[in-house]
Structure 1
Amino acid sequence: MDGYNLKCRGERVQDDEEVVDKEEEYEEDQGPRGKVCVSLKDGSYFNKEMDKLILFIFLLQGVWCGDWSISLPKKIEALRGSCVIINCTFTINNTYDKYLTDSAAGMWYKDDHTNINNIVFNSSNSNLPLKGEITGKLKSKDCTTIFYDITSNHGGKFYFRIEGNDPLKSTFTQNSVSVGVIDSPLNPTVQMFKDQMKIEVHEEVLERSSMCLRCSAKTLCSSSPPTLTWSSTDRLHLNENSRLQLDQQNQTEIISDLNFTATHLQHGVTFICTITYQLQQRIATAQNYITLRVQYATKISLFSCNRTNVTVCLCEAHGNPSPKVKWFLSGRPVSNSTNTSIIEERLSSTDLKRSFISLHQSLTNTDTLQCVTINTHGTASEKIQLFCSPQETTRNSAVITTEVLRMFAAMFATTLGLHCKKFL
């Protein structure tokens, strides 16, 4: 196109000597916006009335320009050290179909489509910076291309050019694709389903609900497909199911489902999904996670007593919502008084509660102490006989009691004594 003046087709040129009809002498190429234009060999300029020119250009666009187009994604993410696939199709005016042969070449400009030095890929020349291949068939107007060994320098805006037999030599400048190079894959998406219905990830679920945790991610180009794996903070045994499918944008995504029935053992457990790409020179990973909140009936995890001159007992319970703890001495409710002290402690986990009671009073052989815990989903209760013989003490129970009561020893002024067994 160097040395030629571009004028729109179908007009006449006024020369000093003669009128030259463009239909007789021209070369065709694609203009800067994909329009078919004419290069006049004599370098002539138009000398026509402006209103006729505007009308003609309007008609020209409707007849000619719509035949030249290209379809490209607006943006693609490429993983450094991997590959990138650009899905690409184009159309040309049907009068040029005969020039589009099997020997046609596809090229890609990077950033500046007006500079020939910015051609970074040519399907007929392997000595250019980007290595790859056109996987589509150019004769069928499929310019889908794959580039290999992507580096950080390969990011930018790409324009496609087709070169067939003369005069088919056109750069599609109206559309481009932006390639962004990333060091790590994007974090996968984690969703939660209860009884096959999607719910918010922070929503609490009831114990015995049928649960599905879904991890998904759009796949990036790589020599081997990525993998999705699940793990958990409590190292639970996980039964996962992975698959590949097309999303609504016709892009391949990988999905892994984790199916289970919710129990209190999973309350507060964090489930982590990791996507892994095995590249030639490194492993690239990304993660996302979800913490499960399960509502369940209260349960008593520890009930222990120690007795010398003062009886000190501990009742530890958990549940979601956090339970309330009540004490009963021989069937009668107990509260703070001159002879009784009750202290409650909520641990770092809001669903775990400890309640300590100290009894500064005489007890009989028949006295019992009962711990009752309550929340909105149920009640739990355990009872022990307070007056016990030394034979009923066990070493393991004494060790547990020593550890949990240490911080309260000064307050209650107690030493470890007998550990009374619970009624079953």
Structure 2
Amino acid sequence: MNGTVSFILIGCLLQGALGRDWAIWMPQSIEALSGSCVLIPCTFEIPSEYDQDLAANAKGRFMKGHAFGDRILLESSTARLVIKRSSIQGYLIGNLLEKNCTSILNNFTLRDSNKYLFRVESPNLLKFSFKEGVQINVTDSPPKPKLTPERVEVMEGASVSLSCSAAAPCPKLPPNLTWTPRLSDSVDQLQENEDRTKSVSSVLTFTASHLHHGQKITCRALYTLQQGDTQKTSEASLTLRVLYSPENTSVSVSPSGSVFAGSSVTLTCNSNANPPVQNYTWYKMKGRDIEVVGTGDKSVLLVSATDGGHYFCEARNPRGAQRSETVFLFFEGSKCSLAQHIICGTLVFLYILTVCVGVYKYKSLCKQIQAQPGEKGKDTYDRLQISTITSSDYDVIRKDMDASRGTDEGTCDYENIKRNKQKGAARNVQ
């Protein structure tokens, strides 16, 4: 379950004039899941003089820890294990007569992590414990699946194949692999590794799109335990990197809505691309002609009131280019500045104030006229109706006024003559 696990070759691999020697082949280590079984691939070799002793009545045993530890008797593929001081059960699935000691041990627990040695026995002289064995490490959580390749960077439109493999230490309960998101159908397949352990693999194939860029792909392994319906999961993920030309290129206007003469507008070119956009070009349409009005690595263009018209942008990266739709800028009538707003407001206020003062003075004057006491001729004046005045009435009124004025003037003249005579007499006395 740790990937490629090297075999241990115990004994002499070279066979020559001296003949065969004691040797065994097993994985160096196996990771087992608590509550599940474990498969131990195993083959062995014995000296040729013991071949006749390897008969049908031969038995195989696994010993836990050392040569004198707990002994697990493997009778046959149908018989259960006979084990001392251990809860482990299992059976031999290999044929001892063919020197195949492959076995399955059931219901491993965390306390069963240990090194396991193999021993072959027969009623005759064949009794031998191989000195090297397999280290079985029991974990409570299943190991993570392995994704291949670990890093994906492809061009848009290319075919992508992702492989997910998860160890199957218990071949009769292999894990179930699922992909998220499910971009296409996939099929799980149980396969044998180089060290003859088992694993389940699944291949996901799809065509890369710009929509897949930055997407997280997850392979999840679901393990079912031997006891009950308990399940455990583990997962591995990678992030897709897809190279594509600019997509969804568009222009945004700020501020949006009505734009007044004298103000400025900011145009921003928006585009999705990988690698990112490296160059932006701004165009303005003049009739049937197109004029370049800005270039560079910035996506912003500042437009004033005199620059109204149709605009669009082009985004470009090493993969290609894309142009946006056209936007139209129209600047409405003048718009007061802040100072102009203040001046306009002040003038309006003064105008309203002047009107209010005038009305107030007019009403006050009317009240004063109505409150004045009666005078000569007031009764006569009050009785007058302007609309009924005739020339004869006017003459009568005028005579009355002249008579009154004459009396007053005569009195004044008499007083003046009297004062002058008195002043002349005084000068004569002197």
Per-residue CA distance 1:31-63 (angstroms, 9 max, x = gap): xx999xxxxxxxxxxxxxxxxxxxxxxxxx975
Aligned amino acid, residue 291 of structure 1 = T
Matching of residue 72 in structure 1 with residue 23 in structure 2: no
Q: 2:189·2:202 contact (CA, 8 Å) conserved in 1?
A: yes
Q: 1:215·1:256 contact (CA, 8 Å) conserved in 2?
A: yes
Query: Which of residues 216, 221, 224 in structure 2 aligns to 1:275?
Result: 221
Q: 2:259·2:331 contact (CA, 8 Å) conserved in 1?
A: no
1:69 & 1:343 partners in 2: Cα distance?
A: 70
Q: 2:249·2:315 contact (CA, 8 Å) conserved in 1?
A: no
Q: 1:343·1:356 contact (CA, 8 Å) conserved in 2?
A: no
How much does 1:82 deviate?
A: 0.9
Query: Which of residues 72, 93, 111 in structure 2 aligns to 1:135?
Result: 93
Partner of 2:327: 384
Q: Are the structure 2 counterparts of residues 87 and 301 from structure 1 closer, same or farther at C-alpha, using a change threshold of 3 Å?
A: same
> Alignment length, in residue pairs?
299
TM-score normalised to the size of structure 2?
Answer: 0.61
Q: 1:343·1:357 contact (CA, 8 Å) conserved in 2?
A: no
Query: Which of residues 121, 125, 131 in structure 1 aligns to 2:72?
Result: 121
Q: Secondary structure at the match of 1:187?
A: coil
1:294 & 1:251 partners in 2: Cα distance?
A: 35
Query: Which of residues 326, 332, 335 in structure 1 aligns to 2:281?
Result: 326
1:248 & 1:96 partners in 2: Cα distance?
A: 29
Q: Secondary structure at the match of 1:293?
A: strand
Query: Which of residues 134, 144, 147 in structure 2 aligns to 1:190?
Result: 147
How much does 1:80 deviate?
A: 1.4
Matching of residue 106 in structure 1 with residue 42 in structure 2: no
Aligned amino acid, residue 263 of structure 1 = S
How much does 1:122 deviate?
A: 2.0
**Greater per-residue strand proportion:** 1
How much does 1:343 deviate?
A: 11
Structure 2: gaps (5+ residues): 1-9, 76-80, 333-430
Matching of residue 210 in structure 1 with residue 164 in structure 2: no
Per-residue CA distance 1:240-299 (angstroms, 9 max, x = gap): 243233344444332211111211111111211122212235322222222221111112
Q: How does 1:163-242 map to 2 (within 5 A)?
A: 163-173=121-131, 175-192=132-149, 201-202=150-151, 204-232=153-181, 237-242=183-188
Q: 1:100·1:168 contact (CA, 8 Å) conserved in 2?
A: yes
Partner of 1:261: 207
Q: 1:107·1:119 contact (CA, 8 Å) conserved in 2?
A: no
Partner of 1:84: 38
Q: How does 1:24-103 map to 2 (within 5 A)?
A: 63=18, 66-103=20-57
2:11 & 2:284 partners in 1: Cα distance?
A: 91
Partner of 1:286: 234
Partner of 1:155: 113
2:11 & 2:192 partners in 1: Cα distance?
A: 32
Query: Which of residues 306, 309, 312 in structure 2 aligns to 1:362?
Result: 306
TM-score normalised to the size of structure 1?
Answer: 0.62
Q: Are the structure 2 counterparts of residues 121 and 314 from structure 1 closer, same or farther at C-alpha, using a change threshold of 3 Å?
A: same
2:275 & 2:18 partners in 1: Cα distance?
A: 71
Q: 1:101·1:165 contact (CA, 8 Å) conserved in 2?
A: no
Percent identity (aligned): 31
1:301 & 1:278 partners in 2: Cα distance?
A: 49
2:297 & 2:49 partners in 1: Cα distance?
A: 92
Partner of 1:316: 270
Q: Secondary structure at the match of 2:306?
A: coil
1:268 & 1:34 partners in 2: Cα distance?
A: 52
Q: Are the structure 2 counterparts of residues 377 and 161 from structure 1 closer, same or farther at C-alpha, using a change threshold of 3 Å?
A: closer
**Greater per-residue helix proportion:** 2
RMSD, aligned α-carbons? 3.1
Q: Are the structure 2 counterparts of residues 94 and 373 from structure 1 closer, same or farther at C-alpha, using a change threshold of 3 Å?
A: closer
